[in-house]
Structure 1
Amino acid sequence: MRPSYHPNWIKDDNITSSKGKAITQLWHSNGKCPKGTIPVLRTNEEDVSKHVKKKSLPFAYSIDPEFTSLNENHEYAIVRTQGNFFGTKATFNLWNPKVQENDEFSLTQLWVTAGPDSDVNTIEAGWQVYQGKYKDATTRLFIFWTSDGYKQYKCYNLDCPGFIQTNNEIAIGGSLSPTSQVDGSQYEMTILIWKESKEGLWWMQVDGNVIGYWPASLFSYLSESSSRVDWGGEVINRRLGGHHTTTQMGSGHFPQEGYRKASYIRNIEIVDDSNTLRSPQDLLTITPQESCYDIVKGINDNWGSHVFYGGPGQNPNCP
């Protein structure tokens, strides 16, 4: 199955294609998946025990208390736009931040959102370091969705039925390499998510490769369109011993340090009601703990609408 159409590009030829280098997944060195199959992470007994099936539900749901934007332990450095949207596209540079505890994570992603906070629908995609989930500290491609405000109906990757993968070359939840280095090479990943109105499917594309789709039947508010889109970083802060976590966001450097030190998201665009990619208007900056993690927005001809973001966590100004 393939999408029947893609969003229309605006002056894409005039945007610098990339200052970053291509990324890959480690399993590619061992071959490819045959036609008609997809790559999946190996599943063990512990993974299975985290998931519950209820006869009244059409799918299993993931019990993962760590992943909820309503959790007070979560901290953000993001930009937001509100309106009526049908997708988004952005390029993220890739890092391998240090995470203090196994039950903390550091991620960079986009959020496509609709509905009130108490019952919010979201589609989320990006990269993360989360040893408590993946059993290692590698940087991984991930997706996530919820249809009821992060309560029962929520799911990471392919952990439960929901997202339909159609690509046999990209492993969702798989590691990404190489990662960017401070004052060194920068590596990037471009994610596009858009709604196909004919079938109501939300499609996802990574670096030009169509990965699969979320059926409209998963959602209530997102079955029509998105009312909000966010881009940026998120960490869990357990505040162990009364001190802020040392978990890094992005590169671990503040955005004011700029290119090749700070993390960035560039060529940020939204899909409007004419199925056209455009720069978002009136981006709102949200940085509740700017002495720990911060974000700075900008716009120019080469990078379009973009942000630098991140931080080290605990530091003299963030004790």
Structure 2
Amino acid sequence: MKYSNVSFIVLFVLISFILAAKTKNADGKRSSVSIEEEEDIAFERQLKNLNKKPIKTIMTKYGDTVDCINIHKQPAFDHPLLKDHKIQMVPSFIQEETTSNNISASSYRVSNIDNGFQNERCPPGTVPIRRTKKQDLANARYLLQKKINPNRTNSYSSSPMNYHFVSVEELSQGKSYHGAAALISTHTLELTYKQFSTAQVWIENGPEEEKNSIQFGWLAYPAIFEDSHSRLMGYWTVDGGKQTGCFNVLCYGFVQVHDQVFLGAVIEQISIYGKLAYNMVARVYRDRTGNWWLMFNVIIGYWPAEIFTHLDNASVVRYGGIAGAEPQTDTPPMGNGYLPQLQDYTKTAFIRKMKYIDDKGQLQNINPDGVQSKHDAKLDCYNILFAGNLGSDWEMSMTYGGPGGMCS
């Protein structure tokens, strides 16, 4: 481990402590301040720290409030390990773009990412950061907080949310990964308020109690975004989600450098069942500085090397999706809401050009002979099919998803 017991208490733990604690005054008696009031105080403190004073504020056509923040004063630098961090404006090397914009058939296209600014933009020297609301912090409290453990029947059984996942991973024999890349199909799902669904890639390393993880892709979650649009998602943790890390920029860590595209932005073009299949470029890679750069069609920003304890490289790269809801309720659709098939790719959710990045910074195909598929729900709820190497612009590909329901 780089740092001895390096972790800081982020919002999730703070709130959990407040909910569990018995608030007493100096005389040992019950305080007149309720647990709900204590929780509100914690939220307000976190909101004050996260929502920096903007140079300009933009109301998007999707109803989001986006603040243009001085790039050197963004929330990431409040992380205690980043006080002396010098911002990196571009990666130490730019990867060759090997993922083509179009597949051979004209019915497959690359999705645009829409920040919703219309005719506005952030001033020079600032970056766009979606303003955090109190309900965002409350509803994101358990989002992706628990890591996937494919060796357990229900990898999220200890979580207060009801989760299910499907995934494909290469069972490496001591292989070292320095990133992962894929083209992920984009879809619109009809979700209830407390349901969420993702299409994503995982990069992980470290022992179970100190699991370092970066997860990225798209997410639909009405409880945070107040709509069912698919949006850009990034997540990190250094202890399997127990105390550190968060989704998007709901804590300190991710450094935004792009002046227009930001985490939480809407994926504007989505697939039309049986007619058009849209996909987006998704990639995370470690450059020579040790920072982990995030790309969705364009380079957005990075997670600094300082915040990780076991991510000099990764031992696991995984591709798939997660669907979640409140306990004892139906879990939502995943992918495009249909069970996967390999006959018509305009009628199924897919992840294609599944690659990892080696220690030389080169994109490499995963080994089809070493791939294992995993899922933790009934097959009429969600499934996953690894197609292998389809050649041409598809290369290593998989399909996944399903309608959801009572899936345990």
The one-character-per-residue Cα deviations of 1:93-116 (angstroms, maximum 9, x if unpaired) are 1011222x4222100011111112
Instruction: Tell me the distance in 1 between the aligned counterparts of 2:281 and 2:291.
Output: 20
Does residue 251 of the first structure (1) align with residue 336 of the second (2)?
yes
Q: Kindly tell me: are residues 173 and 17 of structure 1, through their superposed partners in 2, closer, same or farther at Cα, counting changes over 3 Å?
A: farther
Does residue 143 of the first structure (1) align with residue 234 of the second (2)?
yes
Instruction: Tell me the distance in 1 between the aligned counterparts of 2:241 and 2:276.
Output: 37
Instruction: Tell me the distance in 2 between the aligned counterparts of 1:196 and 1:235.
Output: 31
Partner of residue 266 from structure 1, selected from 352, 359, 365? 352
Does residue 206 of the first structure (1) align with residue 206 of the second (2)?
no
Gaps of 5+ in 1: 51-61
The one-character-per-residue Cα deviations of 1:6-38 (angstroms, maximum 9, x if unpaired) are 34567x67x947822432315142322222111
CA RMSD between the two structures: 2.4
Contact 2:194 2:325 in 1 (8 A): no
Q: Which amino acid counterpart does residue 254 of structure 1 have in structure 2?
A: L
The one-character-per-residue Cα deviations of 1:242-277 (angstroms, maximum 9, x if unpaired) are xxx251001011112641111001111000122211
Contact 2:331 2:404 in 1 (8 A): yes
Contact 2:211 2:240 in 1 (8 A): yes
- Give the TM-score normalised by structure 2: 0.68
Partner of 2:254: 163
Q: Kindly tell me: are residues 118 and 74 of structure 1, through their superposed partners in 2, closer, same or farther at Cα, counting changes over 3 Å?
A: farther
> 1:135 Cα deviation (Å)?
2.2
Q: Which amino acid counterpart does residue 269 of structure 1 have in structure 2?
A: K
> 1:138 Cα deviation (Å)?
1.6
Superposed counterparts of 1:57-68, under 5 Å:
64-67=141-144, 68=146
> 1:194 Cα deviation (Å)?
0.7
Does residue 96 of the first structure (1) align with residue 180 of the second (2)?
no
Partner of 1:57: none
> 1:130 Cα deviation (Å)?
0.7
Partner of 1:56: none
Q: What SS class does the counterpart of residue 187 from structure 1 fall into?
A: strand
Does residue 2 of the first structure (1) align with residue 93 of the second (2)?
no
Contact 1:75 1:237 in 2 (8 A): no
Partner of 1:71: 156
Instruction: Tell me the distance in 2 between the aligned counterparts of 1:77 and 1:218.
Output: 28
- Give the TM-score normalised by structure 1: 0.85
Gaps of 5+ in 2: 1-88, 148-154
Superposed counterparts of 1:171-182, under 5 Å:
171-182=262-273
Partner of 1:43: 132
Contact 1:258 1:308 in 2 (8 A): no
Q: Kindly tell me: are residues 66 and 211 of structure 1, through their superposed partners in 2, closer, same or farther at Cα, counting changes over 3 Å?
A: closer
Instruction: Tell me the distance in 1 between the aligned counterparts of 2:229 and 2:103.
Output: 29
Q: Which has the higher contact order (CA 8 A, sep 6+)?
A: 1
Q: What SS class does the counterpart of residue 116 from structure 2 fall into?
A: helix
Does residue 125 of the first structure (1) align with residue 211 of the second (2)?
no
Contact 1:23 1:187 in 2 (8 A): no
Instruction: Tell me the distance in 2 between the aligned counterparts of 1:297 and 1:217.
Output: 35
Instruction: Tell me the distance in 2 between the aligned counterparts of 1:145 and 1:246.
Output: 24
Matched pairs, number: 297
Decide which structure has the larger Cα Rg and report it.
2
